[in-house]
Amino acid sequence: MPRSLIKDFDIRFFVHATEDPEKVLDATHSIIPYQYRSKIRFRKRKLKGAYKNPILLYETKINEQEILDSILENMSSNLSSIEKGRLQEEFQKMVDGSKMYLRFDKQESFKGRLILCSGDPIHIRIRFRTKDCSEIQKKIRSFGLIS
Upper half-sphere CA count for residue 81 (Cβ side, 13 Å):
0
Nearest 5°: the CA angle 70, 59, 43 is 110
Write down the pLDDT at residue 118.
86
> Does residue 71 lie in a domain region?
yes
Write down the pLDDT at residue 51.
87
> Does residue 1 lie in a domain region?
no
> Does residue 48 lie in a domain region?
yes
State in Å, rounded, how far the first CA of the chain is from the last one: 26
Q: How many Å apart are CA 36 and CA 30, to the nearest integer?
A: 12
Average pLDDT, the chain: 93
In the chain, count of helices (H) and strands (E)?
6, 6
- Residue ranges making up the domain that contains 31: 6-142
> Does residue 57 lie in a domain region?
yes
Q: What is the pLDDT of residues 19-51, one digit of tens each?
A: 999 999 988 878 999 899 999 999 999 999 888
> Does residue 72 lie in a domain region?
yes
Per the structure, how many domains does the chain have?
1
Q: What residues of the chain score a pLDDT lower than 70?
A: 1-3
Q: Specify the CATH number for the domain of residue 62.
A: 3.30.1440.10
Write down the pLDDT at residue 1.
43
Write down the pLDDT at residue 2.
54
> Does residue 147 lie in a domain region?
no
